[in-house]
Structure 1
C-alpha cells in the first residue's frame, strides 16, 4: 500500500521514435540546403540573375521544412533527441547564413546581423540551460519574429523592382525590433522559471522539435 509520503505515480514516457523518421529527414534536408544556398548566393553576387532566384527558392524550400518538420514530429510522435538538437541548429544556420551574406555584400549593417545572431543563439542556449526547471514555450512574439525574419530575407533575396527595396528594409527593421523585444521577454521568463521553486521538469517529456526555435 502506498504511503502518503510516496511520490504520485506518473505515466510512463512514450518510447522515443526511430531516428530515421520524416521529421528528422526534413530537418537534415534543411541542414544540407544551407551550403547549397550559400553557394548560389555567392555565385549570383546579388546581380538579379537566375542564380539569385534559385537561391531565393532554396531558402523558401528550406524555411518550409522548418514549419513542416515540427508539425510532423508533434502530429505523429516522431520526437527524438536528434531532432531536439538538430532542429534549432538548422534554423539558426539557415537564417544566420543569409544575414551574414547580406552584411558581406553591404545590404545589411553588421550590427543588425550581430544583434539577431546573438539573440538567436543566446536564447537557444538559455532555454537549454533552464530546461531542467521547465520549458519556455514558443510565444506568439517568437513566432512573429520568425515570420518577419523569413519574409525580410525572402524580400532581400528576390530580384524585385527597386521600389520594393524600401519595403524589404522596413520588414527587416521590424524583424530586428521584434527579435530584441522577444529576446528580452525570454530572458525574463527564464529568470522567473529559474527562481520558481518546483520539481525539475523531465526534459524529454516536455520538449518537442520547434519548441527551441522561436
Structure 2
C-alpha cells in the first residue's frame, strides 16, 4: 500500500535486467490474489461475523507486511522489473480500495470518503505509470505518512470493534478504538488530498521544465 519508491524507479544503468520470476514479484502477485478473499471475508453476513472480520484483518495485515518485505528485498537484491513497476502500485491500491469499498458497504466508512480517496489514488497511480519513462516524481514523506495512517485506520476498522456478541469487557475499548480509527481515517483523507495536490503540482512543473521556454 506504499507510495512508489526506488523499487519502481529502477536502475537505469543496469546492464542485465532481472527476471520477472523473483520473490518480490511473487509477493506482489500474492497481494493481488489476497484482494478478493479479503473482501469476501469482510462481507460475510453483511460484515456482522466477528470471526470472518478477524480473518479479513489477518489477510489485510499480511498484505501490508508483504508490501514492506517485497520492497525491501527488491531494493537490497536489485530485483527491479517492469512487472514490479506496474504490479506493485496496483496491488497496493487494490487492497486499500477493496477495504474502503467493503467498509462502506457494511457502514463503517462513508461512501463519499471511499469515492474521494479512490479517485485520488487511482488517478495518481495511473498518471505516474503513464509518465514514468519521461518524468520521475519521487515519493515524499507526506505520502508515506498518508499510507501509514490509511493502513492503520482501515486495518483497525476491519476488526469487529462494535460486534454485539463480543464480551461486555470489550465493548468500551472496541467503541473507543472505532472512533480513534475514524479520526485516523480523517487524517488519512486530508493527507491523501494534500499529497495528491503536491503530486500534480510537481508533475506540471516537471513537464513544463522538460518542454522548455517557448521561442519568441
Same fold by TM-score greater than 0.5: yes
Q: 2-side partners of 1:67 and 1:198: how far apart? A: 36
Query: Against the structure 1 CA distance between its residues 158 and 13, is the aligned structure 2 distance closer, same or farther, given a 3 Å change threshold?
Result: same
Partner of 2:145, secondary structure, is: helix
Aligned length: 189
In structure 1, runs of 5+ residues without a counterpart are: 1-10, 200-214
Distance of 2:48 and 2:105 partners within structure 1: 14
The answer for the alignment partner of 1:108 in structure 2 is: 109
User: Aligned equivalents of 2:117 and 2:210: distance in 1?
Assistant: 32
Q: 2-side partners of 1:197 and 1:38: how far apart? A: 42
TM-score normalised by structure 1 residue count = 0.83
- 1:76-87 equivalences in 2 (<5 Å): 76-87=77-88
The structure in which a higher percent of residues are helix is 2
Please list every run of at least 4 consecutive aligned residues from structure 1 whose deviation after the TM superposition is greater than 4 angstroms: none
| 1:13-33 superposed Cα distances (whole Å, 9 cap, x missing partner) | 331111110100100010111
Go from structure 1 to structure 2 and tell me whether the alpha carbon gap of 1:159 and 1:104 turns closer, same or farther (over 3 Å shift): closer
* TM-score of the pair, normalised by structure 2: 0.83
CA distance in 2, matches of 1:143, 1:193: 21
SS at match of 1:196: helix
**Corresponding residue for 1:150?**
151
Q: Cα RMSD over matched residues?
A: 1.7
User: For residue 15 of structure 1, what is the aligned residue in structure 2?
Assistant: 16
Hey, what's the Cα distance between the residues in 1 that align with 2:63 and 2:129? Answer: 24
* 8 Å Cα contact 1:27/1:65 also seen in 2: yes
**Maintained 8 Å contact 1:152/1:171:** yes
Instruction: Indicate how the Cα distance of structure 1 residues 95 and 49 shifts in structure 2: closer, same or farther if over 3 A, else same.
Output: same
| 2: CA distance, partners of 1:107 / 1:22 | 35
In structure 1, the residue matched to 2:198 is 185
Q: Does 1:173 align with 2:174?
A: no
Q: Structure 2, unaligned stretches of length 5 or more?
A: 1-11, 162-173
